[in-house]
Amino acid sequence: MTATNDTAIPPRALRQRFEEHGFTVVRALFSRAETERLCTHFTALHAAGPVPGRFEPRPADPDPLRRHPRVMQPHEFSAPAREFLLDPRLRAVLEVLFGEEVLAAQSMFYFKPPGARGQALHQDNFYLRVEPGTCIAAWVACEPIDRDNGGLEVVPGTHRMGLFCPELADEGLSFAREYVPPPPGLVPVPVDLAPGDVLFFNGSLVHGSGPNRTADRFRRSFIGHYVGRSAERIGAYYRTLTMSGERVPLPLTEGAGPCGTEFVPHGPH
């Protein structure tokens, strides 16, 4: 099974495909120029230094992911990130997939430099704890992404299985602690993406990535998490907005946290 472009099919068929597999890819939803501008913006952010609580690079750290950590909730301090998170093109697809109005819950930007570890197979709603229902991720490729530089893998069918209890991941391969082994009979499917492509996937879909094994290629991506307007509860870390930018507070669920619990670094940094 391979990921295909679903932009040309009618909305009803698009939603049926998403419900069947748990994910879909929309090719070239954004232009290469738009993704390049976003990368330039975050490169400048990295050069400017830390944003406490959101982005705190350690330039002298031997770990590539601590020199270029992910940026958490950049839409709360970055106008370009906010524009991407609330983009009408994402809204149009998400409303088809949810079948209702959409709320934005989280944004992240990943640099994933050469030599960086990946993130073990996991489920996003393990962290967001959306109730009832689940979240949907919109994963925007900002440059060519494939298996060599640590592209995503998804496990089709797991979106219908509820949340699993994670095992401990291999710290040498994953920066996050949680690992969900593929259920018997199901296998991960790699999803290669070009700049501007968007992978949409169900919050219960098991997915993850391996290390960036290249010597000179980053794997930069922008990720938004969204919930349907009918959601009644969500974790405290996630502050929901309408796609017009108005705050919509929801009651809180327990057990939620940032997407991916990072291993504690060893030794001085």
* Domains assigned to the chain: 11-242 (2.60.120.620)
As a whole number of angstroms, the distance between CA 269 and CA 174 comes to 19
**Average pLDDT estimate for 122-129:** 96
As a whole number of angstroms, the distance between CA 82 and CA 80 comes to 5
Residue 102 has pLDDT above 50, yes or no: yes
Tell me if 152 sits within 8 A of 139, measured CB to CB: yes
| Phi/psi at 159 (5° precision) | -65, -15
Residue 267 has pLDDT above 80, yes or no: no
Residue 172 has pLDDT above 90, yes or no: yes
Helix intervals (H) in the chain: 11-21, 32-48, 64-67, 79-85, 88-98, 125-128
Report pLDDT for 266.
56
Q: Which tokens in the block code for residue 150?
A: 């640590």
Which is nearest to 200 in space by CA: 142, 245, 136? 136
Read off the pLDDT of residues 54-83 as tens digits, 9 standing for 90 and up. 999 999 999 999 999 999 999 999 999 999
For 89, the 3-state DSSP assignment is helix
Could you give the maximum distance between any two Cα atoms of the chain, in Å?
A: 55
As a whole number of angstroms, the distance between CA 216 and CA 97 comes to 36
